[in-house]
């Protein structure tokens, strides 16, 4: 299973991680936090464990972290 990451155009610290192709089923309040810019994606198994757990539990992860420090994957540098 793959995931996607998007970042808010207005708030560069706001990111959403979700299962690839499921943006349309995210809660309205989450989608309306955009507009969004697509970033990278990858395999769910590569996500940091706490992101993976939250993705399974609620279907998406809302992350508020400076873009210079943000990294969705366990073994990658911040992008």
Terminal Cα distance for the chain, rounded: 22
More confident residue, 21 or 67: 21
The DSSP string of 7-37 is: EESS-TTEEEEEETT-GGGS-HHHHTT--EE
Torsions phi, psi for 62 (to 5 deg): -100, 120
Residue pair 70/48 in contact (Cβ under 8 Å)? The answer is: no
Over 50: is that where the pLDDT of 33 sits? yes
Supply the mean pLDDT for the chain. 92
What's the rounded mean pLDDT across residues 31-57? 95
Which percentage of the chain shows pLDDT scores above 90?
Answer: 87
* Token digits of residue 12: 């560069």
* Token digits of residue 26: 């995210």
The model carries a pTM of 0.91
């Amino acid at each position: 299973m793959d995931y996607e990451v998007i970042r808010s155009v207005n708030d560069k610290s706001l990111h959403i991680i979700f299962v690839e192709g499921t943006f349309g089923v995210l809660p309205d309040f989450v989608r309306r936090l955009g507009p969004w810019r697509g970033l990278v994606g990858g395999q769910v198994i590569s996500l940091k464990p706490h992101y993976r757990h939250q993705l399974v539990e609620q279907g998406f992860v809302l992350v508020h972290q400076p873009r210079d420090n943000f990294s969705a994957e366990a073994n990658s540098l911040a992008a």
